[in-house]
Chain A
Amino acid sequence: MKNKSERYIPLVVSVGQVAIFPYYIIWLKQASITFTLFAWLFAAFSFTAALGYRIFQSKKNTSSFIPFIYMGMGSLYVLVSILSNSFEFLPYIALLIQVILGFLQGYYHAWHIERKAYRLHAVNHYLLVGSVMVVLSFVKILSPVIIISAFGGVLFMIGFGLAWVTQVTCIELDDVK
């Protein structure tokens, strides 16, 4: 079960995140008012990604958090899709989202590169992203909000499912003991 989840789910997560990236960027640009703030928000993302990456490396038993990382990232994408663009405090919320998302992605990436399937994922990832983007280029009806929220929802459910499966597995192992 674990091998399967490590084989397919990270690929879905990585490809999905790159595929929705253009939509997310549009939202972030609208929330940023100026290019300067837009750049600062990316810088904040990068710094917190470094923090997330480092925290993964410095902890033991780090894999157990991965379902919650998925759930966290999914929740943030759903939040982005429901926030109103005319909300007065949008730049502050965007900063908070960038900081949390950066941390989660840094942590996730540090975990992902240690998986055995990572090298295989890298090739498939590029091929899939290319294909998905070509498909999305023909999608004219769905708004970016729907695509971001759909991916956020999928990510959250994956995380929730993994957490549930992990818990069930632990209980079963305890019974065996």
Chain B
Amino acid sequence: MKLLPIKLQKHALHKNPWFLGLIVFMFSVWIVLNIPIEKRKYGLSQSNLTTDYTGLLPERIKGIVKAGDRTELQRIVKEANKNGHHISVAGLQHSQGGHTYYKDSVVLDMKTFNKVLEIDEQYKTVKVESGATWGDVQAAIQPYGLALKVTQSQSIFTIGGSLSVNAHGRDIRFGPMAGTVKEMTILTPTGEIKTVTRNDSEEWLKYVLGGYGLFGVILDVTLELTENEVYTIHTRVLNIKDYESYFSNLLRNDDTAMHYARVSVAPSTFLDEMYIIDYKKTGTQDNQTPLKEEHGARIGKMAIDLGRKGGSWEDLFWENQKLLIKSIDGDKITRNNAMRGNSAFMEYTKPSRVEVLQEFFIPVDQYEEYISDLKNMLPDNDKDDDFKIHNITVRYAPKDNYTGLNYAKEDMFGLVVLIQHGLQENEMDNAEAIIQKWTDLTLEYGGSYYLPYYHYQSKEQFQRSYPGWGKFHQEKLKRDPNGLFQNIFYNYYFIEGASHEK
């Protein structure tokens, strides 16, 4: 056999159909794995209408100020008081009810105000500007073997935004997020810069935390930290009726640091089955494991998009989730990484439809009865309905004594519900009717609902859910006499209400 010179062999290679086929196959697979995820188009705009994450409340604003210097912010607030302008405060804008803007207001975009100012390793605290994200804080404290006490399950949100909605997450030991704030610097509605603590006699923290940006601008915060402990993940599938006792045991034993659960919304196990994920303490501290980044979002999005179709696709999605949690049972994870859930895979950009969140709080001991009534109220298969429920996550929200508008008047379970519906007037009305009915049921059980989301609920339902609303309103009028800090949320619940309620 006559061998070809190497140069000729190379020349022939790219003409070989098999070789070309292999290139095409590998390149196509590579594209499939790297197809980007379409992001929702939302945010602050001076030339177009401003929206938040859902895009449901478009509004024209007067201007955007990128925060950079606190003296400049102080000047803006004082001038706005003089000129009768309104100010709104925005972070990442993932709140969904117009909390970050208002008609003709000047919006302070806090995302650029994002420095981590000081880490106290001995007293385990971090001082950080309010526009920093939880991810920024994690990156700064991780080398010291420290972690946050309470944060949201995803780390993309700004500190100021999360504190303004008094968010909660997977931790079950350190109480509400508001309780982890040691000190805070705020710019008040009259333009003063004040440093406030929990013992402050003027109770600024009570109204700024969970105050939805209505009581001033959070400039910086000192947060309490804990060890970045390594946990063992424990997962299990449960029947709904066993969950209350399971969770009581979990709280009694001190070996679990974090916990959350998901309830099935798949037709064949609708509100019957759930799975739980516990993070059990190992006693080992970590400062080496790098912070995890989101990978494989496209595959996750494909799965979630199939589940969004409802019916048997939702069944398949639920079964896949059970397989997935089984596969991570026994894995090790650091506290910081357990507080960095993925988010990109959840993007939803279908034209003429919207995906929104609602959260209902229910006293821990009422859970089973509540779910049973809920099961009678909702269809188990929403495949052909416009209003579709795609996910219900259960989180523990301990009793909150720190904030004026507290959603957890006692120890509660928060049911975070992911919903899709159409944007036609009749579809919006239908969604509103279902959510109002759901809210009424929640109120019957002594529960409440979360306020950072779109206001499907009526003003009357708001007042029943938040009996402290009157005092909150009085304090707003007292501390912000010119009504400087405004947003659509405040206008809806405290001033105008829904058009049909006027």
Contact = CB atoms under 8 A, between A and B. Distances in A.
Contacts of A99: 24, 28
B36 A33 contact: yes
Contacts of A47: 20, 23-24, 27
A51 B20 contact: yes
Interface stretch (A35-43, A118-126, A166-174): A35-43
A43 B302 CA distance: 24
B24 A40 contact: no
B435 to A, nearest CB: 25
> Which size class do B's interface residues fall under?
20 to 34
Interface in A24-57: 33-34, 36-37, 40-41, 43-44, 47-48, 50-51, 54-55
Interface of B is mostly: helix
A76 interface: no
B31 A48 contact: no
Given A33-B38, A34-B36, A50 B31 contact: no
A55 B18 CA distance: 9
Interface in A119-158: none
Interface string B1-39: 000000000000001110011011001100110111110
Interface stretch (A1-9, A11-19, A63-71, A83-91): A83-91
Given A33-B36, A33-B38, A86-B351, A51 B21 contact: yes
Interface string B328-361: 0000000000000000000000111000000000
B388 to A, nearest CB: 14
Nearest to B35: A91
B350 A54 contact: no
B350 A36 contact: no
A86 B38 CA distance: 11
Given A55-B17, A86-B350, A88-B350, A43 B32 contact: no
B297 to A, nearest CB: 13
A73 interface: no
Interface string B301-314: 01001001000000
A49 to B, nearest CB: 10
A37 B36 contact: yes
Interface string A77-109: 000000001101101100100010000000000
A176 to B, nearest CB: 36
A37 B302 contact: no
B20 A50 contact: yes
B112 to A, nearest CB: 25
Contacts of B16: 54
Contacts of B302: 89
A61 interface: no
Contacts of B17: 51, 54-55, 58
A44 B350 contact: no
Nearest to B39: A33
The 9 A-B pairs at the shortest CB distance, nearest first, are namely: A51-B20, A88-B305, A91-B35, A47-B24, A86-B351, A33-B38, A48-B24, A40-B31, A54-B17
24 contacts: A33-B36, A33-B38, A37-B31, A40-B34, A41-B31, A43-B27, A44-B24, A44-B27, A44-B28, A47-B20, A47-B23, A47-B24, A48-B24, A51-B20, A54-B16, A54-B20, A58-B17, A86-B350, A88-B350, A89-B302, A92-B35, A95-B31, A95-B32, A95-B35
Given A51-B17, A99-B28, 19 more contacts: A33-B36, A33-B38, A36-B36, A37-B31, A44-B24, A47-B27, A48-B24, A50-B20, A86-B350, A86-B352, A88-B305, A88-B350, A89-B305, A91-B35, A92-B35, A95-B28, A95-B32, A95-B35, A99-B24
